[in-house]
Amino acid sequence: MIVIPAVDIKDGRCVRLLQGRMDAETVFSDDPAAMAKQWEDQGAERIHVVDLNGAFEKCPQNIEAVKKILETVKAEIQVGGGIRNRDTAKMYFDLGVKRVIIGTAAVRHPKMVESICKEFPNRVIVGIDAREGLVSVEGWSTATRIKAADLARQFEDCGVAAVNFTDIHRDGMQTGPNIEETRKLAEAIDIPVVASGGVSTLDDIKNLLPLEKAGVMGVITGRALYSGTLDLKEAISVAGQNRL
């Protein structure tokens, strides 16, 4: 299982939100690239970058910060937030981003996302963010009645690299990942799943490891790293580095 540190960018700074609320932020650094470098130096081979402003504004808002991260680290970079069309995805690929994460557009325009996946196989991650099993979109501000597993099934066999599954209630709360919902999603699809939301300590990483058999091949962690309750080197060592 691969451990993926998160660098969330809002107004050019590295922040963490509670349950995706833009009014509940903690600023951890004015230099997202420096944070990405810190995680790389501790062993990260992939870094999860989110343009929070882009998620709400529906198009990228922190491109310069992403560019600086790409110039600073050699680790693979995956980017999400405001990617709503093929041209935006290609723009990020041209910059050197390894994979893009598409969330809202996967709900609003699934056929378009399928087309992007087929054009850029294994480079698109579908981001599924859910409350009580139901998908939320538009930077988590809008709830739907779509079940997470039903959305994920739409993208079987079209070249999706992975599904990032975030339990919104747990994101940034350090209350432990939603093991059961993550397991259910992984068992319902053939696409590899990356768990996100709620990781607090090394025990949370250990609790996710049995889910590898169900197809959970990675975990994203943010606040726990920034607050110091989880040591990245130790987490990587425990989890091993099986690749998606």
pLDDT tens figures, 122-147 = 999 999 988 878 898 876 568 899 99
pLDDT tens figures, 198-217 = 899 999 999 999 999 999 99
pLDDT tens figures, 13-32 = 999 776 556 665 778 889 99
Q: Looking at 8, 51, 167, 204, which residue is catalytic?
A: 8
For the question of residue 30 being annotated catalytic, the response is no
Average pLDDT of the chain is 91
Phi and psi at residue 229, to the nearest 5°: -80, -10
- CATH ID of 2-237, from 3.40.30.10, 3.30.910.10, 3.20.20.70, 3.10.450.50: 3.20.20.70
pLDDT tens figures, 149-202 = 999 999 999 999 999 998 876 655 566 888 999 999 999 999 999 999 889 999
For the question of residue 129 being annotated catalytic, the response is yes
CB–CB of 189/149 below 8 Å? yes
Task: With H, G, I as helix, E, B as strand and everything else as coil, classify residue 18.
Answer: strand
* pLDDT reported for residue 244: 45
Phi/psi class of residue 29: alpha, beta or left (left: φ > 0; alpha: ψ in -120 to 50)? beta
Token pair in block for residue 197:
């939301």
Q: In this structure, which amino acid lies at residue 152?
A: A
Q: Looking at 30, 87, 94, 129, which residue is catalytic?
A: 129
Q: For the chain, which residues make up each domain, given as ranges?
A: 2-237
Per the DSSP assignment, residues forming a β-bridge with 21 are: 18
